[in-house]
Amino acid sequence: NESKINATLESFTKTSENITTLTNDIKDVELSKTISTLDNTLSSMNALLSDIQQGKGSMGKLMNDESLYNNLEGATKEMEELLRDIKLHPKRYFRILSRKEIPYEGDKN
């Protein structure tokens, strides 16, 4: 019986070592894949940031061209004023039953 127990324990030990080796190999493969994916992501981000710094694309132009930024800022303010005026004076913009024209009065702020 003792020899059978020793053989079983030895077999169990070898199986345990094999499982440990296999688990470590899987971890190494997963880590390698993760590092590769991260490396590709960082390369893409570097290329994107480089294009932005060179003024390429909409974001690059917006970040590097102050006049474009100022124009966009001005257009945004004008849209805000228009929306505020529409909320305050909807009849000016949506005349269904009225034929009377109401003149525009700029922002009085």
Per-residue pLDDT tens over the stretch 7-36: 888 888 898 888 888 888 888 777 778 888
Domain positions in the chain are 2-64, 74-109
Per-residue pLDDT tens over the stretch 51-60: 999 999 988 9
Q: What is the DSSP string of 21-78?
A: HHHHHHHHHHHHHHHHHHHHHHHHHHHHHHHHHTT-HHHHHHHH-HHHHHHHHHHHHH
The pTM of this model reads 0.45
